[in-house]
């Protein structure tokens, strides 16, 4: 495993927000002021912690800590939820020795439920006791809700003045179809960076990773990605080459975490890598890719290992993307199954059986001779997904 970035400490405790003895409160603390950036949901019903993070980062793109809880989303909770959010900042700031305005906050869990402030107060001695004794892996478990596994990625990158390290964690398995973010993700880095560049780099990386996945077509009220860079490694991303290398590493973290989310997918068994090319522009390609990736019929066919390519073609046809039907070519696992308006010859069920039974399935759609393209990772839709979400609040 890659060594963790320098200058960070972690705390994870079981506060009892939903289940006894389960980690549900996590804190990441930087020993020094860290450049901070974030991307967030565009859902109109924006959770209190998202509003607060936006306010803090607009005033000052620096932070010392990230605070996250599972159990209650603190979304659609009105003035009481806003006040509770501010109070949690104050409580954690006192517990870990920073100022409240240096604490970025995130929550995940049931929408509409107020934070259990008595349990927060009772957890503060545990936070103080565990700070530095808990691991990054502990925090990654504390942010889980319906996730079946924690999701973490570490990368080391060589800059001109020495090595820098990045580490990321994410939670998410359902309610995944982000718009400028995903459910929750936190990335820490020990290089010194310029604040404006760091924020722009995060947006670029999120756009080609977390923003190109779908499990169920839903976007949460709480979607948040936060990234800190504290300079503790003593190396600076000062040149164009250094910034390019660091951004490449940041994007690698984002892509791997995004893939792990689709791979989990609340009972998901397959990841469909959908690539659309030959569209008149990227927007047209995206329409087709998302129609295919969101389709319950396509998803259930994937779950059943059924090479029902007609569902894919039909989804592209209703997507709103502009193309001629006779120009569409469909390939599954590299095998042409449809072109020139009709099925390709051959026993497709037999040819596609080993591909459909695998965990990763490549779906390529060619729409014509244009230069527009788009890629999207989508999950299948399983019986477990229905069961998990039917029982989510119980």
Q: In terms of Cα–Cα distance, which of 152, 185, 147 is closest to 53?
A: 185
Q: How far is CA 272 from CA 138, 202, 211, 289, 294, in A?
A: 30, 25, 15, 11, 11
DSSP count for the chain of H helices, then E strands: 11, 15
Q: What gap in Å lies between CA 8 and CA 139, rounded to an integer?
A: 12
Provide φ and ψ at 176, rounded to 5°. Answer: -120, 105
Q: Could you give the CA distance from residue 146 to residue 199 in angstroms, rounded to a whole number?
A: 29
- How many CB atoms lie under 10 A from the CB of residue 345? 7
> Which residues belong to the active site?
182
Question: Distance (Å, rounded) from C-alpha 17 to C-alpha 116?
Answer: 7
CA distances to 35, 316, 329, 345 from 308, in Å = 49, 14, 15, 15
Helix (H, G, I), strand (E, B) or coil at 119: helix
Residue 25 tokens read as 């409160």
Residue 97, both tokens: 């020795």
- Measured at the CA of 272, the angle between CA 368 and CA 387, to 5 degrees, comes to 140
Q: What angle do CA 293, 295, 301 make, to 5 degrees?
A: 95
Q: How far apart are CA 20 and CA 111, in angstroms?
A: 20
Pairing of strands 335-339, 342-343: antiparallel
Residue 231, by phi and psi: left (phi above 0), alpha (psi -120 to 50) or beta?
left
Decide: helix, strand or coil at residue 43.
coil
As a dihedral over the C-alpha atoms of residue 208, residue 211, residue 215, residue 221, rounded to 10 degrees, the angle is 160
């Amino acid at each position: 495993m890659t060594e963790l970035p320098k200058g960070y400490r972690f705390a994870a405790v079981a506060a009892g927000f939903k289940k006894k003895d389960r980690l549900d409160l996590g804190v990441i603390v930087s020993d020094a002021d860290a450049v901070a950036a974030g991307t967030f949901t565009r859902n109109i019903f924006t959770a209190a912690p998202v509003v607060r993070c936006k306010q803090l980062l607009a005033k000052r793109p620096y932070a010392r800590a990230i605070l996250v809880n599972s159990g209650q989303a603190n979304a659609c909770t009105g003035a009481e939820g806003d006040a509770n959010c501010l109070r949690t900042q104050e409580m954690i700031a006192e517990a870990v020795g920073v100022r409240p305005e240096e604490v970025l906050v995130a929550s995940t869990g049931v929408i509409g439920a107020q934070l259990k402030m008595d349990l927060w107060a009772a957890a503060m001695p545990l936070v103080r006791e565990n700070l530095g004794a808990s691991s990054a892996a502990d925090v990654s478990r504390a942010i889980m809700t319906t996730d079946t596994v924690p999701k973490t990625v570490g990368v080391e990158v060589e800059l001109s003045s020495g090595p820098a390290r990045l580490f990321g964690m994410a939670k998410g398995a359902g309610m995944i179809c982000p718009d400028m973010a995903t459910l929750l993700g936190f990335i820490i880095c020990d290089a010194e960076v310029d604040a404006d560049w760091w924020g722009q780099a995060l947006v670029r990386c999120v756009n080609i990773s977390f923003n190109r996945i779908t499990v169920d077509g839903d976007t949460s009220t709480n979607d948040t990605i936060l990234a800190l860079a504290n300079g503790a490694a003593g190396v600076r991303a000062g040149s164009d080459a250094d910034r390019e290398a660091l951004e490449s590493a940041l994007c690698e973290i984002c892509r791997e975490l995004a893939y792990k989310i689709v791979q989990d997918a609340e009972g998901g068994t397959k990841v469909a890598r959908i690539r659309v090319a030959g569209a008149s522009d990227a927007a047209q390609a995206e329409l087709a890719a998302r129609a295919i990736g969101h389709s319950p019929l396509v998803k259930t066919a994937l779950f059943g290992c059924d090479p029902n390519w007609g569902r894919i073609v039909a989804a592209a046809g209703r997507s709103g993307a502009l193309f001629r039907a006779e120009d569409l070519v469909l390939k599954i696992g590299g095998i042409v199954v449809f072109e020139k308006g009709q099925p390709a010859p051959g026993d497709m069920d037999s040819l596609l059986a080993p591909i459909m039974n695998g965990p990763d399935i490549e779906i390529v759609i060619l729409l014509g001779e244009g230069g527009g393209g788009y890629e999207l990772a989508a999950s299948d839709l399983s019986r477990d997904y229905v069961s998990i979400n039917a029982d989510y609040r119980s």
